[in-house]
Structure 1
Amino acid sequence: MTPLERRHAAIEATMAKFRAEPFQWGQVDCARVAAFHLKQLGHKIAISKAGRYRTALGAAKALNRLGYASLAEMADGLGLMPIAPARMLIGDIAELEGDSPVGTIALYAGSGNVFAFHEDYPGLVTAAPHAASILRAWSVL
């Protein structure tokens, strides 16, 4: 399987699992979706070591237990390669502007779109963020 095919397969598996699921801290949130996605690509993710959480504050404490202050810091800590947002390929991870205390991350869907949670919709949506709202990006391969 080529790298692009691996990326596509991982996105398909992640979306099949999470697209219809409503956002819920500790069950279906940015961190859980990204962790599942990265596991599909062979990354070793030990998110369960963070413990259980059910609120934004709990998520911040869980990240802190892993030694990180934000989801972006965790992406760096996992050894993901930082890239310019303009160089993202399908399946890469993007940090978006947001008001979550742990930060907001999304999966790049291609053509300028991301799969992310939005306060106006209960589950994952395909969104087209403004280029300026993509703060950072990481390659998954």
Structure 2
Amino acid sequence: MQTMIKRQVATQACMDRFADKPYAPGVRDCGKLAAHALHKLGRKAPLLTRATHKTEAGALKYIRKAGFKDLVELMDATLPDSRIPPAAALPGDIIAMAMPDGDPFGCSLTVALDNGRILGFKDGVCQVLVPLAYVTAWRV
């Protein structure tokens, strides 16, 4: 039970910091959202927190310079051996959502909430969403 309370507190912290706020690369983006969730659950995420980009192109450059093809590879390195089916995600877990074909990031990182909902960016704002197309997920 303690674990679920800790997860609820972590997801509330993500909601307080990101929900209903505009997308701002390097300040409020999916990588910063995922890093915040990891931090609140007691996990370090140096690959996410070291990024100091101010544009999407800068974020992509950082990912590639770090030796990764996309965000999925970066998250696999951040949370090794932690992949889970998205349907098994608990509040606070990270879920990679599908992006349009050709998107260089390969996915958009979101935070699992409850009742199958996620916190992520859509239409330039961080909001609570009902996911449609998953890529994968990681247990935090």
TM-score range, shorter chain: 0.7 to 0.9
Instruction: Verify: 1:118 aligned to 2:122, yes or no.
Output: yes
Match of 1:109 in 2: 113
CA apart distance, 1:3: 1.1
CA contact 1:116–1:127 (8 Å) conserved in 2 = yes
Q: Structure 1-normalised TM-score?
A: 0.86
Structure 1 unaligned residues grouped into runs of 5+: none
Match of 1:84 in 2: 85
Identity %: 29
CA contact 2:79–2:138 (8 Å) conserved in 1 = no
The structure carrying a bigger strand percent of its residues is 1
Q: Is the partner of 1:110 in helix, strand or coil?
A: coil
CA apart distance, 1:65: 2.8
Give the length in aligned residue pairs: 135
CA RMSD of aligned residues (A): 1.7
Q: Structure 2-normalised TM-score?
A: 0.87
CA contact 2:41–2:92 (8 Å) conserved in 1 = no
Match of 1:94 in 2: 95
Q: Is the partner of 2:11 in helix, strand or coil?
A: helix
Question: What letter corresponds to residue 22 of structure 1 in structure 2?
Answer: P
Instruction: Verify: 1:37 aligned to 2:41, yes or no.
Output: no
CA contact 1:56–1:101 (8 Å) conserved in 2 = no
Q: Is the partner of 1:13 in helix, strand or coil?
A: helix
Match of 1:12 in 2: 12
Alignment of 1:118-137 (within 5 A): 118-119=122-123, 122-130=124-132, 133-137=133-137
Structure 2 unaligned residues grouped into runs of 5+: none
Runs of at least 4 residues of structure 1 off by over 3 A?
none
- 2:67, 2:15 → 1: CA distance? 28
- 1:71, 1:3 → 2: CA distance? 27
